[in-house]
Amino acid sequence: MFRNQYDTDITTWSPAGRLHQVEYAMEAVKQGSACVGLKSNTLVVIGSLKRSPHAELSSYQKKLAKIDDHIGFGIAGLASDGRVLIKNARTQAINHKYTYDTPISVQRLVLQISDKSQVSTQRSSKRPYGVGLLISGYDEQTGTHLFQTEPSGNYYEYKAIAIGARSQSARTYFEKNYQTFEEADEETLILHALRALKGTTGDNVELTSKNASISIVGKDRKYKLIEEEQLEPYLAKLEENAAATTEQQPAEQQDDVDEEMVQ
């Protein structure tokens, strides 16, 4: 467990120029259930694997959130931290619309969320947020966007990406297939997202309409959440095409994930 003496205070640099507390917060992201995202020229899809504290008795935890008609969030990591950032993002989106009478640009919102995260890495009074976000959005001027934010306050733009537990499998899937995404239609994108998610479920878990959910946003397309029965046609198609994906590489083992606080 122990690494060195520079890793307990948020405001302490290690001799190697690292901020260990920020890195540890990133570990919480890696332990959340996976979130995948991909985009075409006109659409952005986020898919998430939901967890349930007691499979039969409870509903599954929501991990996808609408920020505005043109922006959606997916989270991996500490759910309660994620809520704080979602709430903050909604407030900023509303304020922007109210002040300028235009929707907030995706890039601007990503920046504001990241700046808020940066503050928690520099001051001693608060810990860094333990959550990673996938941010999907569509701007009239700049088209579709898919961003990832980190506890460090860094953010990256992607064509396709996956975060959370066992997400390496999904990233590998995307690396093989991303060239075809640009012109893909909605159904194709959703099926890609589901196939990527499937690789992150772990050994004994099936991808079902209960534990998976999909969000979509894009050109002439207001944010829409697809889950439960609405998801089943897609899962059925996934089954049909299974032959095409049987050669899917097995997900790497990562069984020591803390199932309780992160999702």
**Interface with its own copies in residues 19-38 (CB under 8 A):** 19-31
CB of 169 to its own copies, least distance (A): 14
- State how far Cα 117 lies from the chain centre: 16
The answer to the question of residue 80 lying near its own copies (CB under 8 A) is yes
- State the Cα–Cα distance between residues 255 and 258, nearest whole angstrom: 9
CB of 129 to its own copies, least distance (A): 8
- State how far Cα 186 lies from the chain centre: 19
Each residue 143-182 as x (binds its own copies by CB under 8 A) or -, in order, gives: ---------xxx-xxxxxx---------x--xx--x----
Binding segment (CB under 8 A) for its own copies, from list 15-23, 95-103, 193-201, 222-230? 15-23
CB of 198 to its own copies, least distance (A): 18
CB of 201 to its own copies, least distance (A): 20
Taking alpha carbons only, the member of 138, 202, 111 closest to residue 165 is 202
**Which residue shows structure tokens 């049909």?**
240
Interacting positions 85-124 with its own copies (CB under 8 A): 87, 111, 114-115, 117-118, 120-124
Interacting positions 44-73 with its own copies (CB under 8 A): 52-54, 56-59, 61
- Three-state DSSP at 25 gives helix
Q: 105 Cβ partners below 8 Å, 6+ apart?
A: 139, 141, 142
β-bridge pairing 212-218 and 221-226: antiparallel
φ, ψ of residue 229 to 5 degrees: the values are -60, -35
Q: Which of 74, 81, 191, 218 binds its own copies (CB under 8 A)?
A: 81
Taking alpha carbons only, the member of 224, 234, 217, 164 closest to residue 40 is 217
CB of 202 to its own copies, least distance (A): 18
